[in-house]
Amino acid sequence: MGKDVIVACDFASAAQTLQFLDKFKGRKPFVKIGMELYYAEGPEIVRQIKARGHKIFLDLKLHDIPNTVKKAMAVLSRLDVDIVNLHAAGTTAMMEAALQGLTRPDGTRPLLIAVTQLTSTDQESMERDLLIREPIADVVMHYARTAKAAGLDGVVCSPLEAAKVHDACGVDFLTVTPGVRFADGDVGDQKRVMTPAQAKAVGSDYIVVGRPITAASDPVGAYERCIEEFVG
Ligand code: C5P
């Protein structure tokens, strides 16, 4: 898969989401469905968006015992999504079980990527609550290498980490990067951001863009600007 822009559809209902996607007319952006929408509407929203011809990154961040994750991944795989994810903190056994569950009888499977440390976790909370005392940048890179060794396809990371992840895990190991803002746009609650063009320059494979598109007065124009800057 080549570089692409993934639109984070962080809406609370199917109606809002479909109304938003209707604006794109013939275009079919790659869509991210997160916990809020999935828990509100269930697998039917995935089927509906898929039936409209979109690729889907189902961002549910699984983390449980290997057997449970394996079975849950088998269900998600039957939904025909394109990318799913889990927490690398679930360990190698869980990631390997996830891959097994995800693999369809014909050998195909959605891409599987790992969340390393959430960007909401900082050094202090990681040390205090998780008793992990290494520098957080090293922890993130360790999780990326562990995910790669388990056979995963990539990680969700900041565009600021994308180059380091590629250095450590190879250029084919995908970096899916949120935290993207236009140079002249609102940063909102994102702290460390890059523009789509900068994300391209550092080698991000996919950018995940939410509010700069969903909250824009012209969402289709904002999406096209992202594509132009990131894919070119
Ligand atoms: O609206 P915005 O562009 O900030 O949306 C970014 C999307 O990426 C949201 O769905 C957010 O949950 C997700 N995300 C993130 N930072 C991470 C992981 C996921 O912003 N570290």
| Cα pseudo-dihedral 17, 18, 24, 28, rounded to 10 | 90
* Domain locations in the chain as residue ranges: 4-230
Give nearest CA residue, ligand 1 atom 19: 178
pLDDT at 211: 96
Mean pLDDT of the chain: 96
Rounded distance between C-alpha atoms, residue 203 and residue 136, angstroms = 21
Return the CA Rg of the chain.
Answer: 17
Cα 23–Cα 59–Cα 80 angle in degrees, nearest 5:
75
Cβ count near 145 (within 10 Å): 16
Residue 118 and residue 79 in contact, taking contact as beta carbons nearer than 8 Å: no
Q: How far is the CA of 145 from the centre of ligand 1 (A)?
A: 22
**85 pLDDT exceeds 80?**
yes
pLDDT at residue 232, as a whole number: 87
Q: Which atom of ligand 1 is nearest to the CA of 189?
A: 4
Active site members: 61
Residue 201's identity, in one-letter code, is A
Question: Is 1 a residue whose pLDDT tops 80?
Answer: no
- Separation of 106 CA from ligand 1 center, angstroms? 33
Query: In the CATH hierarchy, which top-level class contains the domain 4-230?
Result: alpha beta
- Ligand 1 site, CB within 6 A: 8, 10, 34, 118-119, 156, 178-179, 190, 208-212
Taking the centre of ligand 1 as the mean of its atom positions, its distance from the CA of residue 90, in whole angstroms, is 21
Atom number, ligand 1, closest to the C-alpha of residue 190: 4
pLDDT tens track for 160-212: 999 999 999 999 999 999 999 999 998 888 888 999 999 999 999 999 999 99
Contact 207, 177 (CB under 8 A): yes
CB 10 within 8 A of CB 190: no
